[in-house]
Structure 1
Amino acid sequence: MTAHAPVQPGGLSMARLARQPACWIVVALLVAGGLRIAQIGGRFAAVFPLATLTATALFALLAVPFWLFVTELDFLEREPTALLVVALAWGGLVATAVSIPAGAALEDIVAKVISPGFAAGWGAALTGPTVEEIAKTLGVVAIVLIARSQINSVLDGIVYGAIVGLGFQIVEDIVFALGAVAVAGRTDDVQPVVATFLLRGFLSGVWSHTLFGALAGAGIGYLVVGTDRSRPARLGVALLAVFGAWCAHVLWNAPIFGDGLGNGAAGLLAVLLFKGLPPLLLILLLVRRAHDREADYYTAHLARLRDPGLITPGELAVLRSGGQRTAARRHARFRYGRRGSRAVRRLQRAQARLAVELSRAARRPTVAEPGGGAVWRWRAEVRAQRAVLSGLGMPEAVAPRTGRDARVRRAWAVVTVALAIVVVWAALTALDGS
């Protein structure tokens, strides 16, 4: 892993993308995948209109918090929305359209080569991950081919991989939910849709395709940016990451503990933790390391300014940590309402953009930008948001770690965790009852 985060030379140019053959190949694949998924969805909608609408709405709503969380990971140097949409569409349209027939065909081969019994037990665990992880990883490769300059850290690969996985997860879950309606043999009934949503979406989503895609994406990101290592070494790490995603997916699909660990909700929860927790912890560790490296690189440029009007020592520490950024916004909201929280968020965003522009300027010190350039524009924006905070009586965008406000924040955190546990347990109990 590189000691520094390489800096992209500039923003995303749509005109430059349009001149690349790879861009049009990706567009053609997205169109073809979209037509295929529309065919599948159209057949379901004709037979089960209410179930189709319910499944689409539920899983689309589930995608929103995942999207917000994943895109927030790379707070300092955010990815262009257009490329994130391409990644989401690749997962939902291309990867899904390829995986459905390819997975079925590969499972038939396993049944003929080994035995139908083996295919019935282990077919989905081996064929699904093999086809799906390759198809999803190619989505991150497509992003590299059309916008190489936007992949400037391992964290970027993680973000794009997770978004590809999210697109795949949402569309596949919709198909599974409608398949459950068909298997139930009922008319246009939403009960199988809700059950599928609780199991595959609400309970399993956090350690499913989004997680597998993030792990593979980390490998592709390292392949691109790890220029301090030889190409074979980088390729080996990338293949190892994709293999790790495949192994996690195999474990997830494997019929191990198919009947649960014991009876009731506790047994189902134990299976989810056993299969999903190890890869989740691994990817969280990778995200933490990649985030810290990128944060150290960018905030070092802000630290050299030595200007508390632009960023204070306390705000430097806050900008390096996602948890501290969130705590600062919550503190401002408790003390000064929505206006305070909004001002802190805008100040943090302006400081992050200033850090990125400073790093770009450091790479091209001889290039003079007209009108003062982006550095000066973001300096002005930081000072404008600083003035808003000062007007509210908040000297800097930090959250105190002691005192009444800190105790209130900790109490709310405990309440939130307790509420989440209650909701998860209710979902497990509902599934056990059904």
Structure 2
Amino acid sequence: MTEPVVRPARGPLSTSARVPAFWVVLALLIAGGVRMAGTTGRFFTTYPRATALAVALFALLAVPFWLIVRELDFHEREPAELLVLAFAWGALVATAVSIPGGMALENLMAKLGSPHLAADWGAAIAGPTVEEIAKTLGVVAIVLVARSQVNSVLDGVVYGAMVGLGFQIAEDVVYAVGAVALAGQGDQVQPVIATFLLRGFLAGVWSHTLFGALAGAGIGHLVVGRSHRVAVAVTAVLGAWGAHVLWNSPLMIDGLGNGAVALLGVLLLKGLPPLVLILLLVRHVHDREADYYAEQLAALGDPELITPAELRALGSGSRRASARRLAGARAGRGGRTAVRRLQRAQARLAVELSRAAPLTAAADVRAQRAVLRRLGHPEAAAGPVSWRHTASAIATTVVAIAVLWVALSALGGA
């Protein structure tokens, strides 16, 4: 992608009801909600226990994803109402459109090509084509409703990921209940658990949330970019479509054999490329945005508001976490909390500086600084790498791999 751009924040969310697009989006959300409510109602009528479990499991899965996506843009967090709107578009509008749209396109493939082609490649071609268009339109809807809130490529990433997350959760519930119906054994929960492990726990890391983030980056660049805006946007959306096609394709299904190792190999070969691409993209656009806001803070030259060490820590998620851990080690839980609040206040100050309205934010920074001084830890600087933190990270990774292996062993070859 070309060099991303960060535009100055334009102030709080305006009254969206004055924008004509707001009413169009609202009508689509209501229509999608009615359709999905009808589908869910039929699920509960036929398979009440399995449906309740599916909704509960995937709702819980959404929580950590929501928190991670929300924190991607630390310096200028997106309004909660727009995050909810993005999630709702994915769960209601995109899902409601994609289910019949995908089926219609598969039928068209069977007629124009062959039933064998549709059976092998229908999910890989029809699904991504309809779904990625429907999800990308969700980011476009955010731009139309609240243009002032999309002022960087990272904003597009966040909104695209939220649309993808909403779609992922709703689709997974539908697939889970569909697996119960396919099993033909009544209202049983085993197919729901298997679907959760495969589509939620294993595939959730690099599926719709990532595809949506990539397409959203393209829309973000289309809005704020200075050159090649259309080309970059089209490339990003096609990249999301291509990653989705690869993920759904029948390639490598039979080539690696059966068992946990084969299933893990397929997951990695299909899922790792888009995962790495999105992580690199997010890191790049995050660093560009952090640099922009760091310039705003550095220009102050006031160590009471931010010191050079704090400025360095604020630009990286890992260094921000390191600063909180150091404060916790020296000043207890109160120190950790105070550093987190100071970092948040400094981020707000950077945003307000870009709006030329820093007075209230600066007062908040000074107040949090006073709290740290009372705790005997006046500077929110990042600490050195601790062997305990490294050991904890290694232990967590080992546990995650063990859980993954158990899940693959249970599903491998099935």
TM-score by length of 2: 0.97
Which deviations, in whole Å up to 9, do the C-alpha atoms of 1:229-278 show, x marking residues without a partner? Answer: 2xxx3111111111010000000000112246233211111110100111
Does 1:430 find its partner at 2:410? yes
Runs of 4+ more than 6 Å apart = none
Which piece of structure 1 moves more, 328-337 or 285-294?
A: 328-337
Mapped partners of 1:262, 1:6: distance in 2: 50
Instruction: Trace 1:24-173 onto structure 2 (pairs within 5 A).
Output: 24-173=23-172
Structure-2 residue corresponding to 1:295: 290
CA distance in 2, matches of 1:388, 1:143: 38
Does the CA contact (< 8 Å) of 1:260 and 1:268 recur in 2?
A: no
CA distance in 2, matches of 1:425, 1:383: 49
1:6 equivalenced with 2:1 (yes/no) = no
1:235 equivalent in structure 2? 230
Do 2:158 and 2:216's aligned partners in 1 also have CA atoms closer than 8 Å? yes
One-letter code aligned to 1:341:
R
Cα distance, 1:346 vs structure 2: 0.6
- 8 Å CA contact 2:258, 2:413 repeated in 1: no
Q: Report the Cα distance in structure 2 between the residues aligned to 1:416 and 1:388, rounded to whole angstroms.
A: 33
Matched, 1:280 2:314: no
After TM superposition, list the pairs within 5 Å mapping 1:322-341 onto structure 2: 322-341=317-336
| Matched letter for residue 40 of structure 1 | T
The structure 1 residue matched to 2:364, chosen from 357, 381, 387, is 381
Give SS of 2:412's match: helix
The answer (yes or no) to whether the contact 2:47–2:186 under 8 Å persists in 1 is yes
Matched, 1:418 2:407: no
Aligned runs of 1:306-345 on 2, under 5 Å? 306-345=301-340
Q: How big is the shift at 1:425?
A: 1.4
| Alpha carbons 1:92, 1:170 under 8 Å: kept | yes
Conserved in 1, the CA contact under 8 Å of 2:33 and 2:93? yes
Runs of 5+ in structure 2 lacking a partner?
Answer: none
Inter-CA distance 266–235: structure 2 relative to 1 (3 Å threshold): same
User: Given residue 382 of structure 2, which amino acid in structure 1 is its aligned partner?
Assistant: A
Q: Deviations over 1:304-359 (max 9, x none)?
A: 11111111111111111111112222333344333222111111100000000011
TM alignment of 1:387-426, pairs within 5 A: 387-401=370-384, 406-426=386-406
Letter in 2 for 1:298: Y
Q: Match of 1:288, as an amino acid?
A: R
Q: Secondary structure at the match of 2:121?
A: helix
Partners of 2:124 and 2:56 in 1: CA distance: 28
Q: Distance in 2 between matches of 1:140 and 1:260?
A: 37
Partner residue in 2 for 1:183: 182
Name the counterpart of 2:195. 196
Q: Distance in 1 between matches of 2:379 and 2:400?
A: 32
The amino acid of 2:388's aligned partner reads V
State the secondary structure of the residue aligned to 1:419.
helix
User: Across the two proteins, how many residue pairs are aligned to each other?
Assistant: 413
Cα drift, residue 2 of structure 1: 5.2
Give distance in 1, aligned partners of 2:270 and 2:315. Answer: 32
User: One-letter code of the match for 1:258?
Assistant: I
1:160, distance to aligned residue in structure 2 (A): 0.4
Query: How far is the alpha carbon of 1:64 from its aligned partner?
Result: 0.6
| Counterpart Cα distance in 2 of 1:298 and 1:399 | 18
Cα distance in 2, alignment partners of residues 387 and 6 from structure 1:
32
Distance 1:8 1:391 in 2: 33
**Cα distance in 2 between the residues matched to 1:4 and 1:293:** 8
2:137 & 2:266 partners in 1: Cα distance?
30
- d(CA) in 2 for partners of 1:326, 1:200: 31
Q: Which amino acid aligns with 1:123?
A: G
Supply the AA of the counterpart residue of 1:302: L
The answer on whether the counterparts of 1:311 and 1:351 sit within 8 Å (CA) in structure 2 is yes
- Structure 1: which 5+ runs fail to align? 362-373
1:190-213 per-residue CA deviation (whole Å, 9 max, x = no partner) reads: 110010000000110110000000
- Distance (whole Å) between structure 1 residues aligned to residue 4 and residue 29 of structure 2: 36
* Deviations 1:39-77 (CA, angstroms, capped at 9, x unpaired): 110001001111111000100010011111111010001
SS state of the match for residue 73, structure 1?
coil
Offset at 1:217? 0.4
Once structures 1 and 2 are overlaid, which stretch shifts more, 289-298 or 170-179? 289-298
Paired residues of 2:260 and 2:413 also in contact (CA < 8 A): no
Letter in 2 for 1:272: L
Are the aligned partners of 1:211 and 1:283 in contact in 2 as well (CA < 8 Å)?
yes
Contact 1:260–1:271 at 8 Å: present in 2 too?
no
Partner of 2:208: 209
Closer/same/farther in 2, CA of residues 245 and 413 from structure 1, 3 Å limit: same
C-alpha contact (below 8 Å) 2:322/2:382 kept by paired residues: yes
Cα distance in 2, alignment partners of residues 118 and 301 from structure 1? 56
CA change 1:390–1:67 in 2 (3 A) is same
Distance 2:9 2:293 in 1: 12
For residues 238-249 of structure 1, the aligned pairs below 5 Å read 238-249=233-244
